[in-house]
């Protein structure tokens, strides 16, 4: 997590950097800071605890005149959120300032050595070690900033995206990456760098994604230069961004989360476009079509993911097992990487990640590749690390998701997993062609059905008022809707800070039922599927213990309507396609409860959208 941004050009660096920080705030927002070299040759560093707006307030009466600068928005790893621990950090002699996203694992060791050489540290961060080390090398070797950065990075173990500026050189930024993302924007007279392209999309569409182990030198009036850690110059590969400004704005909605919930009919259409064609009779997923033999012969699929993406992965397991009859395992990437995974060449590993940058998922990808498995990446962020590190893959194409709580990315992921399952089923002939075509046809109808479900908005809003002050919630579902229960509970807890547990409805008898009383509402996802009768009895079990029930049911349901306290009706849809539909009312419910409680739904406390640390 943490977002970094840098600017060198003819314009006002402060304006570009502050705007850029706002765009990157989803990556962390416990403190922010900026460093600029003024025309008078002063290195001005300003830092403030809290959101970027606090930094703006601090800078109001300060000298912010500069055409070069770097900035940072933090999600604390080493050291509490405070002005002192905020980035940029600077060297003791005030010559260098540096911003960093990542974690320096051997910082303690390096700090001890530097202290022995007389360095004094002011913060508790791992980052300060890096800037002091670079300056120490620069002075000791009397070398350029580039050489000092390179030498320092040889001594560092960990993950980083960094940008460094020098007081005495207002014409150069040196930046580097290892495991944390960094992209450089090349304008006509200006160069930008950032953790993702959002801070510079309005200035240029030309982007260069730095690779692991690369150092970039941005020099005023010179073309961009990139070197590896052995100082060999790399080829510059300029990509054109597929991003627009309107995708980064709220577009009249009070929050990004609500905008993203309501965008889902459109984003799902984008996700299906060109992949489910000929009225649903043809499934075209390039990542599968280009690797037919791999998908035909796979003996097992392992899906690795974190957070909401892990919930989508569980739905993927149900889909692939039902449609393709291939055993599927779903692993938390953070556990997978340390679980002595056993993979063979017959395994396909699917890495599912909205950001394409989650550190644990990325690490799992590397392990899987090293073990010889075929790795298929499913991601949203074009050009991010996971799509670049995998053998093949598919984008979910839902556009930038800015609200920290994932909504449209979740439904996009489920959609791509459904298309993937259908594509594999077609290839392996594990499902009759007519059945594939029938599901393909239903898949094309999903965006419209989502539009229909979104009409529950007012009803959910009213309902939310009844439950705003509940302290605990239980979410129950079975089969395809068990992962939806997990996701519904996660949505509620992450933005409203109400404790919520998702559970397979039948498992409730083995523990959570003890918690049920009049104070503990249950949200039960109970569409008319092959487990309907079973879930009806689970609903009765909750009711018998005095718990109130909000049930998501199929339109026209009369049985649960008579037992539950509230029902939210969704249209009829094939069971395997139901999660996209059933998750919508749960998104709305968590949203309105959080809003009723006055919470900042787009930036919930302690969370970050892109988790680039372990
Ligand atoms: C964070 C985000 C979640 C996301 C998870 C995995 O926790 O807040 O919304 O699901 O990371 O992120 P990824 O980008 O890999 O899907």
H/E stretch holding 520: none
| Nearest residue (CA) to ligand 1, atom 1 | 609
- 3-state DSSP call for residue 65? coil
611 lines ligand 1 (CB under 6 A): yes
Alpha-carbon span 196 to 189, nearest angstrom: 20
Closest atom, ligand 1, to C-alpha of 355 = 14
Instruction: List phi, psi (to 5°) of 8.
Output: -145, 120
3-class SS string, 33-57: EEEEECCCCCEEEEEEECCHHHHHH
Residue minimizing CA distance to atom 13 of ligand 1: 353
Q: Which of 75, 308, 398 to mutate to test the pocket of ligand 1 (most atoms within 8 A of CB)?
A: 308
- Residues acting as catalytic residues: 2, 609
Query: Which numbered atom of ligand 1 lies nearest the CA of 410?
Result: 10
Instruction: Please check the confidence at residue 26 and state whether its pLDDT lies above 90.
Output: no
SS3 (DSSP) at 123 = coil
Residue with CA nearest ligand 1 atom 7? 307
Distance 194 CA to ligand 1 centre (A): 19
Structure tokens at 160: 């980083």
pLDDT 10s digits, 271-326: 999 999 999 999 999 999 999 999 999 999 999 999 999 999 999 999 999 999 99
Residue 613 has pLDDT above 80, yes or no: no
d(CA 290, ligand 1 centre) in Å: 28
Q: pLDDT band at 245, cuts 50/70/90?
A: confident
Q: What is the pLDDT of residue 422?
A: 98
Ligand 1 contacts CB of residue 362 (under 6 A): no
> Ligand 1 within 6 A of 277 CB?
no
pTM: 0.89
Q: How many angstroms separate the CA atoms of 72 and 51, rounded?
A: 11
| Whether residue 404 has its Cβ less than 6 Å from ligand 1 | yes
pLDDT tens, position by position, 465-487 = 999 999 999 999 999 999 999 99
User: What does the pLDDT read at residue 608?
Assistant: 81
How would residue 238 be classed by pLDDT, with cut points 50, 70 and 90?
very high
Per-residue pLDDT at 256: 96
Which atom of ligand 1 is the closest one to the Cα of 494? 8
Establish how many alpha carbons lie within 13 A of residue 596's alpha carbon, considering only the half-sphere containing its beta carbon: 19
Please give the pLDDT value at position 78.
Answer: 77
CA 361 to ligand 1 center in whole angstroms: 10
Q: What was the pLDDT predicted at 611?
A: 82
Residue 376 has pLDDT above 90, yes or no: yes
At 383 the pLDDT is 82
pLDDT bucket at 502, cuts 50 / 70 / 90: very high
pLDDT for residue 334: 95
Q: Is the CB of 384 under 6 A from ligand 1?
A: no
Which residue among 29, 196, 307 is best mutated to probe the pocket of ligand 1, counting the most ligand atoms within 8 A of its Cβ?
A: 307
At 45 the three-state DSSP class reads: strand
Task: List pLDDT tens digits, range 392-445.
Answer: 999 999 999 999 999 999 999 999 999 999 999 999 999 999 999 999 999 999
Residue of 1, 336, 356, 358 best suited for mutating to test ligand 1, as the one with most atoms within 8 Å of CB: 358
Q: What is the distance between the alpha carbons of residues 584 and 552, in angstroms, rounded to a whole number?
A: 10
Query: β-strand 300-305 against 347-353: which pairing, if any?
Result: parallel
Q: What is the mean pLDDT of the chain?
A: 95
Q: What's residue 473's pLDDT? A: 97
What is the percentage of the chain residues whose pLDDT exceeds 70? 100
pLDDT (0 to 100) of residue 614: 75
Give the pLDDT band of residue 596 (cuts 50, 70, 90). Answer: very high
Terminal alpha carbon distance of the chain: 10
Q: pLDDT tens-digit profile of 173-192?
A: 999 999 889 999 999 999 99
User: Which residue, by CA, sits nearest to atom 5 of ligand 1?
Assistant: 307
* Ligand 1 within 6 A of CB of 567: no
371 CA distance to ligand 1 middle (Å): 25
pLDDT tens digits for range 51-107: 999 999 999 999 999 999 999 998 877 778 888 889 999 998 899 999 999 989 999
Q: Is the CB of 313 under 6 A from ligand 1?
A: no
| Å from CA of 305 to ligand 1 middle | 9
Regarding the beta carbon of 407 and ligand 1, being less than 6 Å apart is answered no
Q: What is the pLDDT of residue 243?
A: 84
pLDDT at 82: 86
**Is the pLDDT score of 561 beyond 90?**
yes
Residue nearest to atom 9 of ligand 1 (CA): 406
What pLDDT score was predicted for residue 607? 87
Sign of CA dihedral 356, 359, 364, 367: positive
The number of beta carbons lying within 10 Å of the beta carbon of residue 599 is 18
Q: Which residues contact 53 (CB under 8 A, 6 or more apart)?
A: none
Determine the atom of ligand 1 nearest the C-alpha atom of 406: 9
Rounded distance from Cα 587 to ligand 1 centre (Å): 16
pLDDT given for residue 188 in this prediction: 93
Instruction: Count the alpha carbons within 13 Å of 486 in the hemisphere toward its beta carbon.
Output: 18
């Amino acid at each position: 997590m943490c977002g970094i941004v840098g600017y060198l050009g003819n314009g006002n660096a402060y304006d570009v950097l502050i705007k850029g920080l706002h765009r990157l705030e989803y990556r962390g927002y416990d403190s922010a800071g900026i460093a600029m070299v003024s025309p008078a040759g002063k290195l001005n560093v300003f830092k403030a605890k809290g959101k970027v707006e606090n930094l703006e307030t601090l800078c109001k009466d300060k000298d912010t005149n500069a055409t070069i600068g770097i900035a940072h928005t933090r999600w604390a790893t080493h050291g509490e959120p405070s002005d002192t621990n905020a980035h940029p950090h600077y060297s003791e002699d005030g010559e260098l300032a540096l911003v960093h996203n990542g974690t320096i694992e051997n910082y303690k060791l390096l700090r001890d050595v530097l202290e022995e050489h007389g360095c004094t540290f002011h913060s508790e961060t791992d980052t300060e070690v890096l800037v002091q080390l670079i300056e120490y090398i620069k002075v000791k070797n009397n070398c350029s900033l580039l050489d000092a950065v390179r030498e320092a990075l040889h001594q560092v173990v960990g993950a980083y995206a960094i940008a460094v500026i020098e007081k005495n050189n207002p014409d150069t930024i040196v930046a580097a990456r290892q495991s944390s993302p960094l992209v450089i924007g090349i304008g006509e007279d200006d160069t930008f760098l950032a953790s993702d392209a959002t801070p510079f999309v309005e200035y240029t569409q030309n982007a260069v994604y730095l690779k692991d182990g690369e150092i970039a030198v941005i020099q005023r009036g010179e073309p961009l230069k990139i070197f590896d850690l052995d100082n060999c110059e790399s080829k510059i590969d300029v990509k054109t961004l597929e991003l627009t400004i309107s995708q980064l704005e709220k577009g009249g909605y009070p929050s990004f989360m609500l905008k993203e919930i309501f965008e889902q009919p459109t984003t799902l259409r984008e996700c299906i476009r060109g992949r489910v064609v000929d009225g649903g009779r043809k499934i075209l997923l390039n990542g599968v079509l280009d690797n037919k033999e791999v998908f035909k012969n796979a003996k097992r699929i392992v899906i690795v993911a974190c957070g909401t993406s892990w919930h989508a992965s569980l739905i993927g397991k149900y889909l692939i097992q039902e449609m393709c009859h291939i055993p599927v395992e779903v692993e938390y990437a953070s556990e997978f990487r340390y679980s002595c995974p056993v993979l063979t060449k017959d395994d396909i590993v699917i890495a599912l990640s909205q950001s394409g940058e989650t550190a644990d998922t990325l690490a799992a990808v590397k392990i899987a590749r090293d073990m010889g498995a075929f790795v298929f990446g499913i991601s949203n962020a074009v050009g991010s690390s996971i799509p670049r590190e995998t053998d093949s893959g598919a984008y979910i194409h839902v556009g930038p998701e800015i609200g920290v709580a994932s909504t449209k990315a979740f439904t996009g992921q489920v959609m791509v997993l459904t298309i993937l399952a259908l594509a594999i089923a077609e290839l392996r002939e594990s499902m009759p062609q007519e059945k594939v075509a029938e599901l393909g046809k239903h898949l094309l109808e999903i965006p419209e059905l989502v539009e229909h479900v979104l009409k529950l908005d007012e009803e959910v809003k009213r309902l939310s008022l009844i439950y705003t002050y509940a302290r605990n919630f239980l979410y129950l579902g079975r089969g395809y809707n068990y992962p939806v229960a997990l996701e519904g509970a996660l949505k509620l807890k992450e933005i409203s800070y109400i404790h919520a547990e998702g559970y397979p409805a039948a498992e409730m008898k083995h523990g959570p039922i003890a918690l049920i009383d009049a104070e503990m509402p249950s949200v039960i996802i109970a569409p008319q599927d092959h487990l309907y009768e079973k879930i009806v009895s689970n609903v009765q079990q909750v009711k018998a213990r005095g718990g109130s029930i909000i049930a998501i049911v199929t339109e026209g349901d009369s049985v649960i309507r008579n037992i539950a306290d509230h029902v939210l009706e969704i249209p009829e849809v094939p069971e395997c396609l139901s999660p996209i539909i059933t998750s919508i009312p749960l998104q709305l419910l968590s949203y309105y409860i959080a809003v009723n409680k006055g919470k900042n739904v787009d930036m919930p406390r302690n969370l970050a959208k892109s988790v680039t640390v372990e």
